[in-house]
Amino acid sequence: MKSIRTRSGHAIELNDSLSSLGITIKDRKGNYIHINSYEDSIVVNAEKDITFNAGETFTVNCKNANILAQESINMSAEENISSISGEDTTIQAGRSLTEMASESYTLSANDSNVQVSNSHNVQASTISETAEKVNIDSTIEDMDLSSPKRVNIQSSDKINLF
């Protein structure tokens, strides 16, 4: 192994031994970059922060990517954020999940299932639902329809009141 060391403790180490082939650049505080030529990997370690700055585009290409944080992950863009997967996408929250849009929200799927354990509330100035067949079931209690004005029921055929 060949190395260059400064009096303050900074070092560049060049290791040519077969089992630990690589290059390490480190400072006296424990920050380092290690190029492991034996395992074809690179490790960057900082005791505090790492910042990448790009004047244009920052691209990461890999087979798999993992981002792990002990506290928070924050993403923001002044314009758009896109997330696309070729197969499945899962979003899971330990407590609450909030989705907000200042203008419109669109959900498009072949099938959609919503399961809520306690209560489900929808508030809007107008609610419209259209389907070839509609079933609304109350499995235990009464079903109430209320309006400060009329409740209109229309059918091109018969209306059955049981």
Does pTM surpass 0.75?
no
Q: Does pLDDT of 19 surpass 90?
A: no
Average pLDDT over residues 27-41: 96
Predicted local distance difference test score (pLDDT) of residue 72: 97
Predicted local distance difference test score (pLDDT) of residue 160: 87
If we measure between CA atoms, which residue out of 34, 9, 10, 36 comes closest to residue 21?
Answer: 36
The string of pLDDT tens digits covering residues 84-111 is: 999 999 999 999 999 999 999 999 999 9
Predicted local distance difference test score (pLDDT) of residue 23: 98
Residues 145 and 130: their CA atoms lie apart, in Å, by 18
Percent of residues, the chain, with pLDDT higher than 70: 100
